[in-house]
Structure 1
Amino acid sequence: MLRRRSHSSVGDAAPSDKELRRAVEVAGTIADHAALRPWRVIALRGEARERLGRAIAEASGATGHDADKLAQKPLRAPLLLAVVVSPKRSAKVPDWEQEAVASGVAHALSLLLDDAGWGVMWRTGHYTRSGAVHRMHELDPDERLLGWLYVGAKPSRKSGRRSTADAKRHLTSL
């Protein structure tokens, strides 16, 4: 985890469908109360990224050059993985816990892809909850988009060291 870095700029190569399926299988083994698997991942390649760009521009209300600039954002990586909370009815597992599981899958997936040599960055923003983006991803009414993992070839230049958390501030005892 100390070696992992977010890569805001990646190259044109991306994992194959086979590599991606395996990473999703492994990421899906995270702790999941009642084994509900309340998540799914949508792979966006090629033209699907362009449709997402148009949906983001529509959601923003921007026009002209500003809309064009927003529409280019999903083209920054050859593969985007939309991470979706897909809640399941459960008397035992509340909605917030199911969203936490989907977040865990996204984080595990980013670690797995990074370890496999891919550049990854998790992007979020208010567009994830917009109607236009929801429709573009063909989400069910109760599903929520957490964001996208932008995935591509890892850049050759190294980024700086990640500092660790101050355990004295973040770890307490009762």
Structure 2
Amino acid sequence: MSALDAVRARQSWSKVEDAAPGREELLTFVAAAGRVADHSSLRPWRLIELRGADREVLGAAIAKAQGDSSPSTKPLRAPLLIAVVASYRKSEKVPRWEQEAVASGVAHMLSLLLDEAGWGVIWRTGHYTRAKAVAKAHGLGKDEELLGWLYVGGKPEGKKAGRRKMVDARKLLTRMPAPGSASPKKSSKKKKKKKAEKKK
């Protein structure tokens, strides 16, 4: 399967089975995912694998963050969770937002590799990703932020992944505007305004 075929076939799997990739297989994927574009090669990211009871610890942390009395069962929806952490480095060249983009790129690349290998994956987030209780449970440092988790498991047989809308590339790939011309968004607003004035 080519890279193009793998990307086109990728889907998010909200429900997965109990099987999960082992550590050695995961290490191979992480090493490959780490080859994303990375200004100054700072490696401003790290990943944390959660298996077994680790997921219960996370469930308790989420409950604490949300003020719930019972542990959250969300982390139990997959046998393997991979926490995606932006681990910021001091740099005069690379701003914080760019380092976060690298961490996000690693997570997306890893999800593609896992999907292509036959595993079901979905990237889950939530407002509690930045909660102190959740950060503490993951052992995050002061210059780290949690970007969410990849939930990984076996793809259920006979079931299809959630549908994704087709991407209209022509609308999303534009050209640089000519000097002095309005941006596509501004020009569309002007057209709408003129139509509204005509109706009056």
> Shorter-normalised TM-score: what interval?
over 0.9
Task: Give the counterpart of 1:39 among 30, 36, 45.
Answer: 45
Report deviation, 1:167: 2.1
Deviations 1:29-77 (A, max 9, x none): 01101111100000000111000000000000123xxx34xx1110010
Report deviation, 1:160: 5.5
Match for residue 104 of structure 1? 105
Report deviation, 1:172: 1.3
SS in structure 1 at match of 2:94: coil
- Residues 12 and 162 of structure 2 are in contact (CA less than 8 Å); yes or no, is this contact kept in structure 1? no
Using the size of structure 1 for normalisation, the TM-score is: 0.94
SS in structure 2 at match of 1:82: strand
Q: 1:1-174 residue pairs with structure 2 within 5 A?
A: 1-63=7-69, 67-68=70-71, 71-156=72-157, 157-159=159-161, 161-174=163-176
- Residues 7 and 155 of structure 1 are in contact (CA less than 8 Å); yes or no, is this contact kept in structure 2? no
Tell me the number of residue pairs that the alignment of Structure 1 and Structure 2 aligns: 169
SS in structure 2 at match of 1:49: helix
Q: Match of 1:85, as an amino acid?
A: A
- Residues 38 and 102 of structure 1 are in contact (CA less than 8 Å); yes or no, is this contact kept in structure 2? yes
d(CA) in 1 for partners of 2:11, 2:73 = 23
Q: Match of 2:174, as an amino acid?
A: T
Q: Which runs of 5 or more residues in structure 1 are unaligned?
A: none
d(CA) in 1 for partners of 2:84, 2:130 = 12
SS in structure 2 at match of 1:2: helix
Report deviation, 1:161: 5.0
The root-mean-square deviation of aligned C-alpha atoms, in Å, is 1.1
Deviations 1:109-161 (A, max 9, x none): 00000001100000001110000000000000110000000000111212365
d(CA) in 2 for partners of 1:172, 1:116 = 33
Q: Which runs of 5 or more residues in structure 2 are unaligned?
A: 1-6, 177-200
Over 6 Å off, 4+ runs: none
- Residues 13 and 162 of structure 2 are in contact (CA less than 8 Å); yes or no, is this contact kept in structure 1? no
SS in structure 2 at match of 1:14: coil
Using the size of structure 2 for normalisation, the TM-score is: 0.82
d(CA) in 1 for partners of 2:170, 2:154 = 37
